[in-house]
Structure 1
């Protein structure tokens, strides 16, 4: 790994156009070595384009990218052997077995530790002795995961890696990602499944229309997420409870009603929880339910906000 710089990936003002379409529009970010960087975005946001541009599978219109301290445009065999790549549209066909196909990939990627392929296949429930053409979509995806991880690369670039996997195998895959990070490997993965990113990523970028809306740590993203609230208190009138909660709730999402002994409220809270705790500290509560932060709802709101502006791009650790 690139211990000399501590940077696994550096992307600076990436721009990619296809005719009149601007697929990437000035994307910048930095991924420290030994960390997991996730990219969330709807279909067409530019996730796959970023990955293919980083690997120089498509040439950038402008901007620059480096992987493990090397300009990606100068990526020769030595650098490519240090990378494990799983494309978003994995096409595997043929009459050969999965074992023979992985042996072929191992000749390209470099040495694979004895027993490593069988270990990964066992964990994923993959039969390596079946011919590739007879495998289901999920089992082909498992084969792709094995080829990406088997040579224990310094950098993993994984595009929608859990596509086609059942929930149990999705969790096993996420365990592989955590183990890779713990071993000092850098992982760059994309997904439209926010819960996956939440479970494993150290940093997450939210991508829309080829631009990064925000880059944040998962915990920081949780602090800015929204929470659904239901509460009631005695000895307080509707106006007072409304005034306490209104600054913390999105306009139009707060409802306060009278009860026999006080007032009750339902709301969607935004931001950190501590201001809400301070606001209700002196109340006599008779009921309180605050749901876990809904990251998916928060991210979807960012997607749909027509006035959202790109945030400062970069991790700023």
Structure 2
């Protein structure tokens, strides 16, 4: 950052809490998102991702805590921040009889200036069918319309809640290209997802949410430098045997172990020779294997891809 520039977080949340009576919502969520980054917000279905986003945008009123988006208080100035933010919800709902082209034209009327060429390019890249009615579209095609609408006002901040659900792989790739271009413009993207592949390919940092609470915030460039191997073994060996070669156990269950290893491969092979193994699998560590340690063995619905 140049000397003399005052830094202001695009999203700054402190101890944000939303409770539904006895039901779990979010608890004491604190995060800070920097200008110009793609920030991932990951967790399995039901972990609190959508509740956090809806509270951030004041669609839900917080039980306690505070937050600012683009310098606006999320409660007192929610109408102002919504003018500056592009939002794609996890569930997309429009009037079924409305034609896509009419919906897009109507959305344009909310903004004083619209980059028509840019919107036309997004429509073409995402293969949005302008002539169909909303009720004729699949879930994925409705999602594409929502993405176009979110980009309509050239927002400084995009908040996307599971944006690739229902999109085929080719359209996902096109969307990722769009998001990278937004980052190149200096805009900020907040991406909620349970798909670790898209998070790894796009994000600069990620916050991990579990059962409504933030359990870690990670800089991906730093994390990737620390990656080693993930080893899965089963056979005639104990936890103590595994801990001779690894300090991090990811899963243990009846002579079946998954652990990380960062040493020399030949030393790993020599170690394995000492035991009667039924299974030995070795793969490079990636974002999925790193973050699965937060959820393995707890029955939560994480998407392994």
TM-score bin (small chain): 0.7 to 0.9
The equivalent of 1:113 in structure 2 is 115
Choose the corresponding residue for 1:147, options 133, 146, 149.
Answer: 149
Choose the corresponding residue for 2:47, options 45, 48, 56.
Answer: 45
Question: What TM-score, normalized to structure 2?
Answer: 0.80
Q: Is the 8 A contact 2:38 2:204 kept in 1?
A: yes
Given the superposition, is the C-alpha separation of residues 280 and 131 from structure 1 closer, same or farther in structure 2, using an over 3 Å criterion?
A: same
Q: Is the 8 A contact 1:156 1:187 kept in 2?
A: yes
Provide the C-alpha distance between the structure 1 equivalents of 2:208 and 2:57, rounded to a whole number of angstroms. Answer: 20
Tell me, what secondary structure is at the counterpart of 1:23?
A: strand
Return 98-107 or 141-150, whichever deviates more. 98-107
Tell me, what secondary structure is at the counterpart of 1:139?
A: helix
Summarize the alignment of residues 192-231 of structure 1 with structure 2, pairs less than 5 Å apart. 192-222=194-224, 227-229=229-231
Tell me, what secondary structure is at the counterpart of 1:291?
A: strand
Q: Is the 8 A contact 1:202 1:217 kept in 2?
A: yes
The equivalent of 1:246 in structure 2 is 245
Summarize the alignment of residues 11-30 of structure 1 with structure 2, pairs less than 5 Å apart. 11-30=13-32
| CA positional deviation for 1:196 | 0.6
Summarize the alignment of residues 242-281 of structure 1 with structure 2, pairs less than 5 Å apart. 246-248=245-247, 250=249, 268-270=258-260, 273=262, 276-277=263-264, 280=267
The equivalent of 2:181 in structure 1 is 179
RMSD: 3.4
Given the superposition, is the C-alpha separation of residues 225 and 41 from structure 1 closer, same or farther in structure 2, using an over 3 Å criterion?
A: farther
Given the superposition, is the C-alpha separation of residues 252 and 30 from structure 1 closer, same or farther in structure 2, using an over 3 Å criterion?
A: closer
Choose the corresponding residue for 2:292, options 280, 289, 300.
Answer: 300
Deviations 1:22-41 (A, max 9, x none): 31110101000111111111
Given the superposition, is the C-alpha separation of residues 249 and 4 from structure 1 closer, same or farther in structure 2, using an over 3 Å criterion?
A: closer
Deviations 1:209-264 (A, max 9, x none): 1001111012344456672359xxxxxxxxxxx799624563987xxxxxxxxxxx
Q: Is the 8 A contact 2:250 2:296 kept in 1?
A: no
Provide the C-alpha distance between the structure 2 equivalents of 1:126 and 1:20, rounded to a whole number of angstroms. Answer: 42
Summarize the alignment of residues 71-90 of structure 1 with structure 2, pairs less than 5 Å apart. 71-75=73-77, 77-90=79-92
Q: Is the 8 A contact 2:15 2:30 kept in 1?
A: yes
Count matched residues: 282
Q: Is the 8 A contact 2:86 2:159 kept in 1?
A: yes
The equivalent of 1:234 in structure 2 is none
2:291 maps to 1:291: no
Provide the C-alpha distance between the structure 2 equivalents of 1:16 and 1:229, rounded to a whole number of angstroms. Answer: 39
| CA positional deviation for 1:174 | 1.1
Given the superposition, is the C-alpha separation of residues 128 and 41 from structure 1 closer, same or farther in structure 2, using an over 3 Å criterion?
A: same
2:36 maps to 1:34: yes
Tell me, what secondary structure is at the counterpart of 2:264?
A: helix
Q: Is the 8 A contact 1:13 1:26 kept in 2?
A: yes
Q: Is the 8 A contact 1:81 1:108 kept in 2?
A: no
Given the superposition, is the C-alpha separation of residues 293 and 247 from structure 1 closer, same or farther in structure 2, using an over 3 Å criterion?
A: closer
Given the superposition, is the C-alpha separation of residues 69 and 245 from structure 1 closer, same or farther in structure 2, using an over 3 Å criterion?
A: same
The equivalent of 2:59 in structure 1 is 57
| CA positional deviation for 1:83 | 0.4
| CA positional deviation for 1:72 | 1.2
Q: Is the 8 A contact 1:229 1:290 kept in 2?
A: yes
Question: What TM-score, normalized to structure 1?
Answer: 0.77
List runs of 5+ in structure 1 lacking aligned partners. Answer: 231-241, 254-265, 284-288, 307-317
Provide the C-alpha distance between the structure 2 equivalents of 1:169 and 1:301, rounded to a whole number of angstroms. Answer: 30
